């Protein structure tokens, strides 16, 4: 009589706990290294949030100082409608981790949106010390306007010095602002030739950066017609990408600037609001637009206002039928409005 051969039973199916052992076996430093790569290449805050809500381990390692210090500007691009205490805490964690972009972003939000002027300026200065060009330029705009204080708090020389440093680092708006300051003798000894040279250099860099973006992007909209005369070279190129924090400011204040009667910079890519009445300069031709800086005024003139600017006396005749005296002319000129007492 033949004996039955013993058969080995199949192994039981692996449980979820056993399957997760492969991930749990990875050392923390390797996981942090991978998360740093994800953080630096994130295209939106959702990329980081989706990691944090995956599991407890990723939630713990996702807020590691190395991961947050590498967070890209787009990973910090919080929308104004999504602003909350949690978003504020997240940006503070990034700042404490040494993220320069987070220092600039939170500084701008605190200074303009939360009206915490001292803390906001301090955070922007922290980023500026580490050669963050947009922070240097934003501090220059604050010095030019005396933002957060009175008209007597303007420091034109400090604004020029900050613009010069940002321009040296390649910031196109700062380079354009510095060129206008030299050309007009604003805060620095007038040097028309040097000012014009810097303006041409700013336009050259602007054109080169946009053409590089056009050639590198598969988006057909970048290869079609854009906003005319973005550069003084007369090329029809697309408008430069707006920094996420400027987008936040535009969304936060909207068109009414929180109902306080304070105005926003009329340049569509800026979003800065006034911190006191009549802080910004207005167009000396139409008086209908105002700008936080000469750079914003010059760029908006090329992008939009050149086609819209109408002398004030003509506007009054068309709308009121009145015969009032006109204001000073000049293409895209500006005048500074005295403060109300």
Per-residue pLDDT of 122-148, as tens digits, reads: 999 999 999 999 999 999 999 999 998
For the chain, how big is the Rg over CA atoms in Å? 26
Mean confidence (pLDDT) of the chain: 80
Its pTM stands at 0.79
Average pLDDT of the residues in 15-43: 79
Of 21-30, 65-74, 77-86, where does mean pLDDT reach its minimum?
21-30
Say if residue 178's pLDDT is above 60.
yes
- Kindly state the average pLDDT of the residues 175-187: 92
- Residue 332 pLDDT exceeds 90: no
The reported pLDDT for the residue numbered 111 is 95
The pLDDT confidence band at residue 33, using thresholds 50, 70 and 90, is very high
Of the pLDDT bands very low, low, confident and very high (cuts 50, 70, 90), residue 286 is confident
Residue 102: per-residue pLDDT: 95
Mean pLDDT of 61-82: 90
* pLDDT higher than 60, residue 60: yes
Rounded mean pLDDT, 311-336: 49
**What's residue 322's pLDDT?**
44
Q: Are 142 and 163 in contact (CB under 8 A)?
A: no
Question: What's the per-residue H, E or C state across the chain?
Answer: CCCCCCCCCCCCCCCHHHHCHHHHCCCHHHHHHHHHHHHHHCCCHHHHHHHHCCCHHHHHHHCCHHHHHCCCHHHHCCCHHHCCHHHHHHHHHHHHCCCHHHHHHHHHHHHHHCCCHHHHHHHHHHHHHCCCHHHHHHHHHHHHHCCCCCHHHCCHHHHHHHHHHHHHCCCHHHHHHHHHHHHHCCCCCCCHHHHHHHHHHHHHHHHHHHHHHHHHCCCHHHCCCCECCCCCCCCCECCCCCCHHHHHHHHHHCCCHHHCCCCECCCCCCCCECCCCCCCEEECCCCCCEECCHHHHHHHHHHHHHHHCCCHHHHHHHHCCCCCCCCCCCCCCEECCCCCC
């Amino acid at each position: 009589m033949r004996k039955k051969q013993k058969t080995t039973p199949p192994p039981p199916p692996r449980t979820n706990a056993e399957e997760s052992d492969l991930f749990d076996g990875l050392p923390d430093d390797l996981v942090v290294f991978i998360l740093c790569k994800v953080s630096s290449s994130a295209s939106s805050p959702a990329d980081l949030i989706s990691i944090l809500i995956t599991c407890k381990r990723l939630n713990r390692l996702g807020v590691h100082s190395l991961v947050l210090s590498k967070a890209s500007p787009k990973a910090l691009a919080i929308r104004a409608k999504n602003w909350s205490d949690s978003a504020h805490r997240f940006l503070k964690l990034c700042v404490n981790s040494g993220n320069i972009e987070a220092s600039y972003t939170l500084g701008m939000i605190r200074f303009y949106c939360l009206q915490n002027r001292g803390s906001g300026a301090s955070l922007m200065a922290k980023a500026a010390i580490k050669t963050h060009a947009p922070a240097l330029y934003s501090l220059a705009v604050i010095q030019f306007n005396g933002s957060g204080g009175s008209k007597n708090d303007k420091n034109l020389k400090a604004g020029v010095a900050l613009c010069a440093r940002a321009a040296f680092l390649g910031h196109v708006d700062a380079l354009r602002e510095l060129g206008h300051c030299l050309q007009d003798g604003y805060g620095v000894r007038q040097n028309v030739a040097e000012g014009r040279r810097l303006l041409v250099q700013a336009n050259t860099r602007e054109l080169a950066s946009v053409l590089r973006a056009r050639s590198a992007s598969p988006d057909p909209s970048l290869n079609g017609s854009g906003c005319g005369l973005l550069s003084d070279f007369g090329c029809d190129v697309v408008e430069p990408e707006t920094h996420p924090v400027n987008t936040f400011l535009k969304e936060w204040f909207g068109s009414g600037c929180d109902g306080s009667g304070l105005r926003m910079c009329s340049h569509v890519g800026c979003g800065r609001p006034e911190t006191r009445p009549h802080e910004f300069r207005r167009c000396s031709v139409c008086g209908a637009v105002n700008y936080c800086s000469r750079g914003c005024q010059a760029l908006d003139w090329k992008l939009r206002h050149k086609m819209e600017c109408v002398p004030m006396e003509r506007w009054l005749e068309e709308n009121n039928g009145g015969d009032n005296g006109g204001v000073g002319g000049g293409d895209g000129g500006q005048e500074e409005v005295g403060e109300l007492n």
